[in-house]
Structure 1
Amino acid sequence: MEINFCGRRALVTGAGKGIGRETAKALRKTGAEVVALSRSYEDLESLARECPGVQTICVDLADWSATEKALSSIGPVDILVNNAAVAILQPFLAVTEEAFDRSFAVNVKAVLHVSQIVVHQMIERGVPGAIVNVSSQASQCALLDHSVYCSTKGALDMVTKVMALELGPKKIRVNSVNPTVVMTEMGRVGWSDPQKSKPMLNRIPLGRFAEVEDVVHSILFLLSDKSSMITGSCLPVDGGFLAC
């Protein structure tokens, strides 16, 4: 199944590393003009060297006014991937106000804000659009020390559904992908200890964690015309974790 985004312009947040970076590269490879957003200037510089032609924007999405300013002249966007997120893990009784506020600011509020900016210009242009929000299996399953993270992803799933409901009449589709543990560079470090990984792997029928390309392929499908009748879905990319 060939997917082609020639003639379309994509914005990917959290594009400096991991899923966001590989999504930006994959979109570019399939013909899209790509705008990559990250709060790390160094990551954006290396992405631009690795993937010539990618436009970069450096901004911390937790800063509402800075985001507004950074995206005010972004130009037309046909495809949006809201990937930027933070994972601050604390036991429930040790959750801090700072961790709570930053987690919701990036994982939920920034998604709403960036989407508003992009959707307004989609509607003004009178064009259809596709949005994918990168959520998590943690939106639907309680995990130790993840009370805030799980809450943000649960909120993100509901934001996704409401966006789909309200934007469908405008021909703008909105879905999420909900991965299990993903073997990004950080994921490999965090889950390399068998004592930590074995209990989680035992809950995944396919017996492995997700590779980055597993998530990227799912994102591309949901952005493409191959999924033109899919909106408001939260697609598990979890090897069956949520089926158990």
Structure 2
Amino acid sequence: MQFEGKSVIITGAGKGIGRATAQILAARGAKVVAISRTQSDLDSLAAETGATGIAADLSTAKGAREAMARAGTCDFLVNCAGTNVLESLLDMTDDGYDTVMDINLRTALVCAQEFSRARIAAGGGGAIVNVTSIAGHRGFPDHVVYAASKAGLEGATRVMAKELGPHGIRVTAIAPTVTMTELAAAAWSDPAKSAPMMSRHPMGRFAEAEDVARSIALLLSDDAAMVTGAVLPLDGGFLAV
């Protein structure tokens, strides 16, 4: 699972799962191109790992395409940029819908499109990992648009695997359970909400960002050479019970 001589683009690399993935892949020899909204996060990541940082607003297709053009042709792509607006169906707003769908689904598709075009032009090969969520598999209150965005990305993952397989590009998704990031803290900080959820995890804990990052590294590696079109739940057994 070493990545010497390989390069990877990671969106949402400034914080959380994206940052942990950048750290792990850099430690295993990859050249990391980190895309994030916040320059200070990129600066600290560069100092820590040597990653090349690209500050970008990925909330628009134009911003995503410009960032991918700056990133250039790489071997791997990790679509990790994500956001959430906690709204129920009855309280859903147009702005909330647009914010979540633009980042979680459209940005991922645009980045995958630009990555794949560059890989095919370079002769093919490579891999994409899309970060989704168990929210796309189970219904959680106030996550209606988030769930739709993540389930949509999993459906798109299967289509991409079918379309890009002939070019030697593998496409998989990883669906974490609650992962202890800043985004998750906003949704699960209330013990009344988190305790019943925790009790449904046979492993007895939520995930850490490093847990997800290690599994992303596995999906990118040659050890997963025959894995494409699959969604890997990283859920401590939540979906099994």
Superposition TM-score, scaled by structure 2 size: 0.96
Deviation at 1:185, TM superposition (A): 4.6
Deviating more after overlay: 41-50 vs 128-137:
41-50
- Give the 5 Å matches for 1:181-192: 181-187=178-184, 191-192=188-189
Structure 2 residue aligned with 1:29? 27
Partner amino acid, structure 2, of 1:81: V
Structure 1 residue aligned with 2:71? 74
- Give the 5 Å matches for 1:152-171: 152-171=149-168
Structure 1 residue aligned with 2:12? 14
Equivalent position to 2:200, from 196, 203, 228: 203
Unaligned residue ranges in structure 2 (runs of 5+): none
Asked whether the equivalents of residues 33 and 52 of structure 2 are also in contact (C-alpha less than 8 Å), the reply is yes
Given the superposition, is the C-alpha separation of residues 197 and 17 from structure 1 closer, same or farther in structure 2, using an over 3 Å criterion? same
- Give the 5 Å matches for 1:117-132: 117-132=114-129
Partner amino acid, structure 1, of 2:172: N
Structure 1 residue aligned with 2:105? 108
Q: C-alpha distance in 1, partners of 2:188/2:132?
A: 19
Q: Does 1:64 align with 2:61?
A: yes
Cα RMSD (Å): 1.3
Deviating more after overlay: 191-200 vs 79-88:
191-200
Deviation at 1:44, TM superposition (A): 1.0
Aligned positions, number: 241
Deviation at 1:161, TM superposition (A): 0.6
Deviating more after overlay: 160-169 vs 184-193:
184-193
Superposition TM-score, scaled by structure 1 size: 0.95
Equivalent position to 1:42, from 36, 40, 43: 40
Look up the SS of the partner of 2:71 in the other structure: coil
Partner amino acid, structure 1, of 2:206: F
Asked whether the equivalents of residues 9 and 71 of structure 2 are also in contact (C-alpha less than 8 Å), the reply is no
Query: 4+ residue runs of structure 1 moved beyond 3 angstroms?
Result: 185-193
Q: Deviations over 1:135-172 (max 9, x none)?
A: 00001111111111000001010011100111111110
Given the superposition, is the C-alpha separation of residues 164 and 7 from structure 1 closer, same or farther in structure 2, using an over 3 Å criterion? same
Unaligned residue ranges in structure 1 (runs of 5+): none
Partner amino acid, structure 2, of 1:88: V
Percent identity between the aligned chains? 47
